[in-house]
């Protein structure tokens, strides 16, 4: 059996910076409230004039990752695209990337697992590589949140948290033993689906029903989050997923060289850091600059940490995420 290693990383975020103060033009909020609760100072939101979309941002990140892997678009055997904010209801973002990058007619799979989308995608890609089916898989996480957020005081509990952006990794076949992806663990608990969800338009609540009701209080087509409920589950599930990954590889928390937690809330990441007694240089956070970019968050943070020289050959890197579904998981990598 082969193993799989990350051979290229890239990310792309829109140029348009939206600070906490900028948000006050639409809603009753403050820099102080947002920073204290979440750690976020600013986020990137697509300027519609640029034409950026979920899939075009994904394609831009992918181009960087493919080049850094020393490959061309023709070397990619399969695309996995994670998002909760696709350009269209269907088809998904993977086929759009295949077209935008002028790739041959390779397979393209979309993953709908929100904040843990990139963890799920990496795990799926890992299985395809290990069995020998594919050699190089492009794994993308991308979100255009700003296109679907409610810019008003009513929506502030959710809107201030989310940002746009994309990240991509090329996962490649390797024959080096004990390196690359060591394990992945995936979980879900669907009974909490409605605690963090966007219900319509979808077949459970289609456009005609929304229009027929014409209810000014209907917010079913905006994301809903029961923040404190999600927070309480997140801190527990993050810890479990990290422990599960370590134990499966007979490793201890002291073995972690770099933890990349999904950037949901800086307070969650700090709680996990304390729990695992990790020094500041062993946890990478960038939510301060980008907000929560959902499926893109782990891969943008991983790429930035790597670009800054914080991840080196032989390091033990742990990726972990929790989010809507609920879904959560971890990936343990020997770099």
Which residues would be at the binding site for ligand ACO (CB under 6 A)?
29, 33-34, 37-38, 114-115, 156-157, 160-161, 196, 227-228, 230-231, 234, 264-265, 268, 292, 294, 323-324
CA pair distance 222, 199, nearest whole angstrom:
8
Q: Which of 277, 274, 333 is nearest to 305 (CA)?
A: 333
Q: Which is nearer to ligand ACO, 38 or 184 (CB)?
A: 38
User: To the nearest whole angstrom, how small is the minimum distance from the Cβ of residue 208 to ligand ACO?
Assistant: 27
Q: Which residue, 136 or 159, has its beta carbon nearer to ligand ACO?
A: 159
- Indicate the burial class of 193 (C-beta count within 10 angstroms; 0-12, 13-18, 19 or more): middle
From the list 136, 262, 265, 285, the catalytic residue is 262
Give min distance, CB of 291 to ligand ACO, in A: 10
Query: What phi-psi label fits residue 78: left (phi over 0), alpha (psi between -120 and 50 degrees) or beta?
Result: beta
Catalytic residue among 73, 113, 115, 136: 115
Q: Whole-number minimum distance, CB 115 to ligand ACO, in Å?
A: 3
Which is closer to ligand ACO, CB of 40 or CB of 171?
Answer: 40
- Cβ nearer to ligand ACO, comparing 33 with 206: 33
Q: Which is nearer to ligand ACO, 84 or 100 (CB)?
A: 84
Q: Which residue has the tokens 């893109």?
A: 296
Cβ 23 to ligand ACO, closest distance in Å?
A: 8
Which residue of the set 73, 265, 285, 292 is catalytic? 292
Catalytic residue list contains 115: yes
CB of 163 to ligand ACO, least distance (A): 12
* Catalytic (active site) residue 262: yes
Cβ contact 335:311 at 8 Å: yes
Q: Which residue numbers are catalytic? A: 115, 262, 292
């Amino acid at each position: 059996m082969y193993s799989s290693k990350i051979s290229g990383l890239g990310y792309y975020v829109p140029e348009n910076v939206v600070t906490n103060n900028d948000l006050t033009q639409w809603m009753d909020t403050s820099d102080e409230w947002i920073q204290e609760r979440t750690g976020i100072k600013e986020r990137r939101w697509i300027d519609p004039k640029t034409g950026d979309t979920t899939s075009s941002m994904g394609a831009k990140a992918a181009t960087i990752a493919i080049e850094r892997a020393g490959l061309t678009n023709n070397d990619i055997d399969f695309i996995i695209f994670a998002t909760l904010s696709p350009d269209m209801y269907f088809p998904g973002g993977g086929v759009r990337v295949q077209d935008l990058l002028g790739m041959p007619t390779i397979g393209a799979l979309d993953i709908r697992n929100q904040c843990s989308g990139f963890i799920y995608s990496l795990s799926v890609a890992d299985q395809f590589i290990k069995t020998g089916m594919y050699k190089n898989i492009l794994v993308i996480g991308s979100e255009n949140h700003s296109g679907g957020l409610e810019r008003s005081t009513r929506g502030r509990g959710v809107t201030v948290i989310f940002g746009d952006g994309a990240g991509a990794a090329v996962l490649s076949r390797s024959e080096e033993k004990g390196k690359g992806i060591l394990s992945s663990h995936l979980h879900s608990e669907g009974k909490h689906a409605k605690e963090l969800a966007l219900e319509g338009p979808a077949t459970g609540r289609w456009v005609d029903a929304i229009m027929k009701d014409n209810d000014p209080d209907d917010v079913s087509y905006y994301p809903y989050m029961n923040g404190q409920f999600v927070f309480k589950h997140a801190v527990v599930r993050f810890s479990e997923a990290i422990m599960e990954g370590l134990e499966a590889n007979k490793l201890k928390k002291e073995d972690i060289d770099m933890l990349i937690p999904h950037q949901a809330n800086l307070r969650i990441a700090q709680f996990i850091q304390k729990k695992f007694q990790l020094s500041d240089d062993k946890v990478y956070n960038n939510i301060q600059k980008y907000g929560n970019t959902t499926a893109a968050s782990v891969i943008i943070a991983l790429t930035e940490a790597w670009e800054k020289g914080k991840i080196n050959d032989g390091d033990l890197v742990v990726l972990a995420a929790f989010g809507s579904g609920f879904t959560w998981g971890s990936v343990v990598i020997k770099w």
